A and B are shown apart, each in its own frame.
Chain A
Amino acid sequence: MTHSLDSIVIGGGVVGTACAYYLARAGHKVCLVERSYLAAGSTGRCIGGIRAQFGTETTIRIMQESIRLFQGMKEELGTDIDWYAGGYLFVAESEERKKAFLKVMELQRQLGLDVRFISPEEAARLVPGLNTDGVVGAAYCPTDGQANPFAVTYGYARQVKARGGRVLTDTTIRSIERRNGNSMLATDKNERLSAPVVVAATGPWLKQTAAMVGLDVPVLAERHESLVTEGVGRLFDSMLVDYRGGGCYFHQHVRTGHLVGCYTPVPNVPGDRADSSFEFLCEMPRRMVNLMPKLAPLKVLRQWGGSYEMTPDGSPFVGSTPVEGFYLAGGMCGHGFMLAPAVGKLLAEIITTGKSSIDLAEFAFGRSFRYAELLR
């Protein structure tokens, strides 16, 4: 049988559930389709960092909006999402890095972001036990923070259901056909869904989803890895981003006290693999004790892998496509969780009113790839 809807969202990660939530809030009859369980892809593998310290105007503006939404999300969704404004601290290990930070900081401050360059002593005060060898300072933004990706995703999904929307898990879309201004989606459960609006929010699989309507979207998955330690009492508040010795970043979960972190592998590991490596299990701890020697006795509980979905310029695709009624919300380049609230809100504005309150030209599908994200 065919279900007629106002919009269909493909992908049950944080981006898809956020889009479905804001569409439902705008009065749409929505159906979200997820081929596995909610947060089974990149969302469930992300460590929950949230920052507005970016290098391009659109991303900074969108992240300022996202942070505003995270701040009020407990009330909005009626569930605690573990939002905590612990800040983000980028350690500068060279004069060159400092110069790069100061340059993006000009733009960030112009846009009203409370970001500053602090001395190594101040960094060590904020992060007791921080190894400041060779550190010339740090970029610090106290309004950045963290939240719980699972709580946010399930929070959005529950609100979609509460507003009469459907959330189909363990359901795969087999085909998408365009007919008289509608998209007809066939599921593997012999259901047909029909709607004028389809949002593809399938993360590392965006390319394959878009190919079903004949679009070629340049998004490629790369494997990143993470690990989590046992929970301990509060050690520090910020996300720490270090570039020394190959680099790494980690923070401490505000409620559980677990430390959770990653690094960017060099060279990159292409493909949508979610396996984990022994190399990472040893290398990440080495980088963590370099940054903070007192972490040595902390026990690692678990490691895992997941995808960053990369675009040619480091910015996502959010908005319409040449296929009428077919929208993209993907290619988040490792920032899907933090971008999701604003992306969901703005895309719903585009779909329901024709324009968004923040200009998304930088994220347009047809853009030329001349921007490059400076803060990876």
Chain B
Amino acid sequence: MPAETIACRCEDVSEAEIEAVLDEGFTSLEAVKRILRCGMGHCQGRTCRTTIARMIVRKTGRPLAEVLTVSSRPPLKPTPIGILASAKRKARA
């Protein structure tokens, strides 16, 4: 993968930027997410998570299952505030 390849499209983070953070010793998905925001954008990591996890595997030799640690959080997909707000009212009625 060329260094300028964008690994996280939502936050516009390149492979080289991730590699630099791994070289610094921050070799967990959690740390990469917090330093570079990979996984915090619109796709919530659905696109970049596995790519970055594989980069960590390549760097550390740890098994993929051990590296893929970040929690997926609700909601399942981006949902408008207005819809969520009205869902509550129906539940109450």
Among A229, A231, A278, A304, the residue within 8 A (CB) of B81 is A229
Whether a CB of chain B sits under 8 angstroms from the CB of A212 is no
Residues of A within 8 A of B84 (CB): 281-282, 285-286, 300
A-B contact count (CB 8 A): 86
- Tell me the bound Cα distance from A282 to B80 in angstroms: 11
Whether a CB of chain B sits under 8 angstroms from the CB of A371 is no
Q: Does B75 contact A300, Cβ atoms closer than 8 Å?
A: yes
Q: Does B34 contact A297, Cβ atoms closer than 8 Å?
A: no
A301 and B78 contact, Cβ closer than 8 Å, known pairs A282-B84, A282-B88, A285-B84: yes
Query: Which of A40, A229, A302 gathers the greatest number of chain B CB atoms within 10 Å?
Result: A302
Residues of A within 8 A of B31 (CB): 37-38, 169
Q: How far is the CB of A146 from chain B (nearest CB, A)?
A: 16
- Tell me the bound Cα distance from A282 to B87 in angstroms: 7
Among B34, B78, B80, the residue within 8 A (CB) of A38 is B34
Q: Does A286 contact B89, Cβ atoms closer than 8 Å?
A: yes
Q: How far is the CB of B23 from chain A (nearest CB, A)?
A: 13
Residues of B within 8 A of A298 (CB): 80-81
* A interface with B by C-beta (< 8 Å): 36-40, 44, 150, 153-154, 158, 169, 228-231, 256, 276, 278, 281-283, 285-286, 288-289, 295-304
- Tell me the bound Cα distance from A153 to B33 in angstroms: 13
Interface of A is mostly: mixed
Which parts of B41-93 form the interface with A (CB within 8 Å)? Answer: 41-42, 44, 73-75, 78-82, 84-85, 87-89, 91
Nearest A residue to B89 via CB reads A286
Among A154, A286, A289, A302, the residue within 8 A (CB) of B34 is A154
Among B44, B82, B89, B91, the residue within 8 A (CB) of A301 is B44
Q: Does B78 contact A300, Cβ atoms closer than 8 Å?
A: yes
Whether a CB of chain A sits under 8 angstroms from the CB of B35 is yes
Which parts of B15-41 form the interface with A (CB within 8 Å)? Answer: 24, 26, 28, 30-31, 34-35, 37, 40-41
Query: Which of B26, B73, B81, B87 gathers the greatest number of chain A CB atoms within 10 Å?
Result: B81
Residues of A within 8 A of B42 (CB): 230, 301
Residues of B within 8 A of A289 (CB): 81-82, 85
- Tell me the bound Cα distance from A7 to B74 in angstroms: 41
